[in-house]
Amino acid sequence: MKIYDMISICFRNLWRRKGRTMLTVIGVVIGSCAVIVMISLGLGMSQAMDNMLASWGDLTSVTIYGGSRGGMFDEGSSSSKTTEKPRLDDSALEIFKAMEDVEDIVPKMELSSEMVVTTSGRNDRYLLSYTTIVGIDFTQFDKLGYEAEQGILPDENNKKDSIVFGLEVPYSFTDTKKHGEAAYARKTELPDGTVTPPFIDPIADDFKIAIVNTKKTNEDGSHPVGGKGYEYTLHGTSVLKQDTMWETPYSMFIDIELAKDIMEAYNKLNNVKNAKAPEYTQVKLLCKDINSVDAVQKAVTDLGYNATSMAQVRQQMQGELGVIQLVLGGLAAISLLVAAISITNTMIMSIYERTKEIGIMKVLGCYIGNIRLMFLMEAGMIGLLGGIIGTVISYGISIIMNSFAGSAFSEALGIYTEGDAGQVSIIPLWLVLLALVFSTIIGLISGYYPANRAVKISALEAIRNE
Amino acid sequence: MAFITVKNLRKVYKLGKEKVYALKQIDLEIKRGEICCILGTSGSGKSTLLNMLAGLEKPTRGDIFINGVNIAQLSESKLARFRQENTGFIFQSYNLIGQFNALENVGMPLMFKGYPKAKRDKLAAKMLKLVGLGKRLRHRPNQMSGGQQQRVGIARAFVAKPKVVFADEPTGNLDTKTTDEVMRLMVRMCRKYNITLIIVTHDLEIAAYADRIVHIIDGEITSIEENTSIYSPEEDEENTSISEVKST
């Protein structure tokens, strides 16, 4: 029997029972719609998550935290209590540089706010308080992802005597000549849209960083500054834009070489014995690609450092997302299962009705294989039809969700993205193909049992039926 | 060797603990091209014998050789092939497929053999013309009379040029006049293509068309009588189809 004839008979039989066929197809449509939409939501969530992570930081970097400071996603360092932690100093940087998959290194060195006093204006009128001073390599702004809101970022030529402010830092300068409320600069928006200026001009003024001498104590309990030789005059160059990780707004940045100098000068002034080489507070290793991140992180951890990476965070989040997707998919699968059962039911009904026909075909010499194939085709066709219609409808649902419920949905699902809400539901081509193949297979599986029943119908019984 | 040889055939049905002997002991030989009538009353086992000859039922014991092949030993799939290549079947209740038109119904055995549509439509149309339905190719069974339907059935049985055609009470649902026409048609087809025809009936008037009449009572052959068919196609004009029958 020719395949063409079987297909033709299969379509005729489906057409003969239009109503029933359509009802069964609708079942599959609902099932496949549910599956496609659920998976597309999962894909949308996954993409939103990647966008979010990318906005937080580079997915290809490993961050090492030095000293006692733990990272944001530190997994806890209970073991480090017993074993001495390796120092995160220049010699450590050499080791990291030598690693195969590490392309670049971005170190940071934080100075404790008790170590120095930062002032500006005549007679040190404006005093900076409660601000972390961070040493970074002023040639690495692009790698850090820092951009200027005002002014021009320093470069190789002026890095030694430049200073860069986080967005909120200029307002942290207080006026020592005033008292009470008037001593503090307030950042408030004026009716014309501008904001009140701080006391100092962060991109024009000069600033003085003076090292504190802890050996002496003032009457009020504070320590005096070291004086000549322990002071650095720097020129304000720029203010950084708000970054997504909120690393910069409350920090002031100087070049990392200067930070080391200050650290050494502090040790000298305060007679710190056995001073070791200055330690970095944080070192970011930029890896070749996202796949090498794991290896680098492991190598660094094996050396005894605390290291985290976005890749690790991503893995965790993907794990959680996977569970959500599984639950959604499971719910959708139930409706597809119901559809599958209804296909089986329809096919069994259809075989009952056609018992005689099947018998006649057998008596006339139709191969049982052909009979089985005809019924499998019918069931598969119901599945495929349902899949096709389901895909079309899913596209519609997807478009509606993306255009109307974009941000609301992503908020409900707990995913926040910067600016553009992104697509809630994504239906890639592979999902369409998968849905079609899957629904056809569902049809075939559902048709398998009825088809075998058809094959087992005795030709004699069938034609005896009057 | 005869075209069909039945040896030592027995069929027993089990009804609970009781054994019912549908066929006790059948030995029979049928020649190629012969029109053989199996005559018996209801319950005599004649239909059971036909079903076994056609390979629709397995005998409890014994052998059935058709053209040298023991069909009692064939598997289901080999039987299907055997039926496809060697047999045609005419039913009492016509058993046409309701959704197919006459052309498609007649073409069915050819379709199972894998003939392309154009070829089988051509052969089926030729066959339908031969049975006098040349103008009803596109009619569906429910648009035709009983006699017309049975002629479609006959066309279907003969279209693939089988070696043997089985007919189970082929005129059971037809009136006398139509019965006569249908019987003549069957005889003419058999003679034309040298096809063996085995008819099962309880009707003596039908038996009169056969070359040989096998009487069967209670699952046993009681007598076999040679007969001269009351109809010989040579009496009619050679190879002409009977005229279009107005619907009865």
Nearest in space to A416 (alpha carbons), one of A246, A247, A248, A244: A244
Nearest in space to A382 (alpha carbons), one of A299, A306, A443: A443
Taking an 8 Å cut-off on Cβ atoms, the answer to whether B80 and A365 are in contact is: yes
Question: How far away is chain A from the Cα of B228, in angstroms, using its nearest Cα?
Answer: 31
Q: Report how many domains make up chain B.
A: 1
Q: What is the pLDDT of residue A8?
A: 92
In DSSP terms, B88 is beta-bridged to B165
CATH code at B50? 3.40.50.300
| Structural domain contains residue B12 | no
Which residues numbered 10-69 in A keep a CB inside 8 Å of some CB on B? 12-13, 16
Report the b/e string of B214-238 with b at 16+ CB within 10 A.
Answer: bbbeebebeeeeebebebebeeeee
Which residues numbered 158-187 in B keep a CB inside 8 Å of some CB on A? none
B158: domain range?
A: 32-59+71-235
| Structural domain contains residue B19 | no
Q: Is A461 in CB contact (< 8 Å) with chain B?
A: no
How many other C-beta atoms lie within 10 A of the C-beta of residue A122?
A: 6
Q: What is the pLDDT of residue A223?
A: 80
Q: What is the pLDDT of residue A86?
A: 82
Q: Which of B89, B104, B111 is most worth mutating to test chain A (most A CB atoms within 10 A of its CB)?
A: B111
- Cβ contacts (< 8 Å) between B54 and chain A: which residues? 363
Q: What is the pLDDT of residue A69?
A: 38
Q: What is the pLDDT of residue A76?
A: 45
Does the pLDDT of residue A348 top 60, yes or no?
Answer: yes
Does the pLDDT of residue A206 top 50, yes or no?
Answer: yes
- Mean pLDDT lowest among A29-43, A235-249, B76-90, B154-168: A235-249
pLDDT band at A75 (very low <50, low <70, confident <90, very high): very low
pLDDT band at B245 (very low <50, low <70, confident <90, very high): very low
DSSP strand E in chain B: where?
A: 4-15, 18-30, 35-39, 61-66, 69-70, 87-90, 164-168, 196-201, 212-217, 220-226
- Identity of the residue in B57, B81, B112 whose CB atom sits nearest the CB atom of A364: B112
Contact indicator for A164, A241 with CB cutoff of 8 Å? no
- Identity of the residue in A357, A363, A466 whose CB atom sits nearest the CB atom of B89: A363
- Identity of the residue in A12, A368, A460 whose CB atom sits nearest the CB atom of B77: A368
Please give the interface size between A and B, counted as residue pairs whose CB atoms are below 8 Å apart: 62
What are the angstrom distances between the C-alpha of A53 and each of A287, A444, B27, B228?
A: 16, 42, 88, 98
Does the pLDDT of residue A71 top 70, yes or no?
Answer: no
Q: What is the pLDDT of residue A70?
A: 36
- The pLDDT mean for chain B works out to 89
Tokens of A112: 């404790």
Look up the ipTM and state it.
Answer: 0.89
Amino acid at A60: T
**Alpha helix stretches (DSSP H) within A205-255:** none
Q: What is the pLDDT of residue A214?
A: 82
- The pLDDT mean for chain A works out to 85
Q: Is A3 in CB contact (< 8 Å) with chain B?
A: no
Q: Which is higher by pLDDT, A152 or A227?
A: A152
Contact indicator for A242, A272 with CB cutoff of 8 Å? no
Q: What is the pLDDT of residue B63?
A: 93
CA A407 to chain centre: 17
Q: What is the pLDDT of residue A68?
A: 45
According to DSSP, residue A189 is labeled B
Angle at A65 between CA A61 and CA A71, to 5 degrees: 85
pLDDT band at B138 (very low <50, low <70, confident <90, very high): very high
According to DSSP, residue A419 is labeled S
Q: What is the pLDDT of residue A77?
A: 43
Q: Which is higher by pLDDT, B233 or A252?
A: A252
What lies within 8 Å, CB to CB, of A170 at 6+ separation is A185, A198, A200, A202, A239
- Identity of the residue in B56, B82, B85 whose CB atom sits nearest the CB atom of A363: B56
Does the pLDDT of residue B239 top 60, yes or no?
Answer: no
Q: Tens digits of per-residue pLDDT, A371-424? A: 999 999 999 999 999 999 999 999 999 988 888 765 565 555 555 544 445 678
Taking an 8 Å cut-off on Cβ atoms, the answer to whether B80 and A460 are in contact is: no
**Placement of tokens 């193949």 in the chain:** A437
Q: Tens digits of per-residue pLDDT, A137-150? A: 998 888 888 888 88
Q: Which is higher by pLDDT, A22 or A214?
A: A22
Taking an 8 Å cut-off on Cβ atoms, the answer to whether B89 and A364 are in contact is: yes
Amino acid at A396: G
Taking an 8 Å cut-off on Cβ atoms, the answer to whether B99 and A12 are in contact is: yes
pLDDT band at A255 (very low <50, low <70, confident <90, very high): very high
DSSP H or E run through A70: none
Q: Is A364 in CB contact (< 8 Å) with chain B?
A: yes
- Identity of the residue in A1, A12, A466 whose CB atom sits nearest the CB atom of B112: A1
How do strand A162-165 and strand A231-240 relate by DSSP bridges? parallel
- Mean pLDDT lowest among A62-76, A372-386, B1-15, B35-49: A62-76
Taking an 8 Å cut-off on Cβ atoms, the answer to whether A5 and B111 are in contact is: yes
Q: Which of A11, A363, A368, A456 is most worth mutating to test chain B (most B CB atoms within 10 A of its CB)?
A: A363
Tokens of B216: 């069967």
Q: Is A363 in CB contact (< 8 Å) with chain B?
A: yes
Q: Is B85 in CB contact (< 8 Å) with chain A?
A: yes
Taking an 8 Å cut-off on Cβ atoms, the answer to whether B77 and A4 are in contact is: no
- Identity of the residue in B80, B113, B116 whose CB atom sits nearest the CB atom of A368: B80
Q: What is the pLDDT of residue A405?
A: 64
Q: What is the pLDDT of residue A381?
A: 95
Nearest in space to B81 (alpha carbons), one of A32, A364, A94, A360: A364
| Structural domain contains residue B229 | yes
Q: Tens digits of per-residue pLDDT, A318-345? A: 888 889 888 988 988 899 899 999 999 9
Q: Is B108 in CB contact (< 8 Å) with chain A?
A: yes
Q: Which of B97, B101, B119, B158 is most worth mutating to test chain A (most A CB atoms within 10 A of its CB)?
A: B97
Which residues numbered 337-356 in A keep a CB inside 8 Å of some CB on B? 356
Q: What is the pLDDT of residue B218?
A: 92
Q: What is the pLDDT of residue A78?
A: 44
Report the b/e string of B76-110 with b at 16+ CB within 10 A.
Answer: eeebbebbbebbbbbbbbbbbbebbbbbbbbbbbb
Q: Tens digits of per-residue pLDDT, B35-94? A: 999 999 988 989 899 999 998 889 999 999 999 999 989 998 898 899 999 999 999 899
How many other C-beta atoms lie within 10 A of the C-beta of residue A193?
A: 6
Contact indicator for A286, A106 with CB cutoff of 8 Å? yes
How many other C-beta atoms lie within 10 A of the C-beta of residue A179?
A: 8
Q: What is the pLDDT of residue A437?
A: 95
Q: pLDDT over 90 for what percent of chain A?
A: 32
